[in-house]
Homo-oligomer: A and B are copies of this chain.
């Protein structure tokens, strides 16, 4: 295996080659060495993509698995208002995975990396006891003390969300029902684009009091903001943006949307769109803890924060 690993690492290094100002030492040493811009803090995040938990090889083409793996990490950087610099990838492969699958995985991964100027700076390759196991690490930078946090929401703040919700889970439900999907027809599920420009604009214009990305589902991620900020929230059911044909339940609880959820004081002038991405005002932060959903006729009901079940 070590020799096979060596060949694989060379192959990856060749595919990942390219100039990145921040990257001093990349693949081929004990650590990656990176230079952060002056007066910036480091952001780091790590997320699993496990076969059978986060993806299925019979549902997701390899390029989609690679893309989504990196998107998970980039989305966390977006939620902090940061700029991604480099990614490291730990990848464990079962013996029987064909080289073509691995190549397509890296094609999807590196296409997204190039789109946002992210270097693949290192990682780990291992043999997997069962299924493809990936863990993404992304290092980013944010001007000192300017990172968007989960803990800054205050009573009276408005709640906003980017884009439309529920599409990723809508595609997942189709897959579950046995449908074959053309990945390019369901980009929100197979090739989600992390909202890096929006996160950066929120930070630069100091618009957001708190922010998070919607990876576990709106209700769960809103509960994270509320828990960390010591507040509650009311959502307006008819303001939650979801495409025609996607049920409200999907928009409320579906995960993997990789949109941004943020709060802002009523004085903040939040525009209707940032970087071409629509922004919707969907509710308000309350002093009393708990999540509520208000229907168009004014009736309130408890909003349970339940993440969508994985596969």
Contact = CB atoms under 8 A, between A and B. Distances in A.
Interface of A: 1-2, 24-25, 28-36, 41-48, 50-54, 75-77, 79-80, 82, 86, 88-90, 92, 121-124, 126-131, 133, 135, 137, 139-140, 142, 144-145, 147, 149-151, 211-213, 216, 220, 228, 305-307, 310
Contacts of A47: 90, 124
A77 B43 CA distance: 18
Contact of A46 (B42, B122, B305): B122
Given A2-B306, A47-B90, 16 more contacts: A1-B307, A2-B220, A28-B228, A30-B45, A33-B43, A33-B142, A36-B36, A44-B137, A44-B139, A46-B122, A46-B124, A48-B124, A50-B128, A51-B129, A135-B135, A139-B139
Given A2-B306, A30-B213, A123-B46, A35 B144 contact: yes
8 contacts: A1-B307, A28-B228, A30-B79, A32-B44, A33-B43, A46-B137, A50-B129, A90-B135
A46 B88 contact: yes
Given A44-B44, A88-B137, A82 B50 contact: no
B29 A126 contact: no
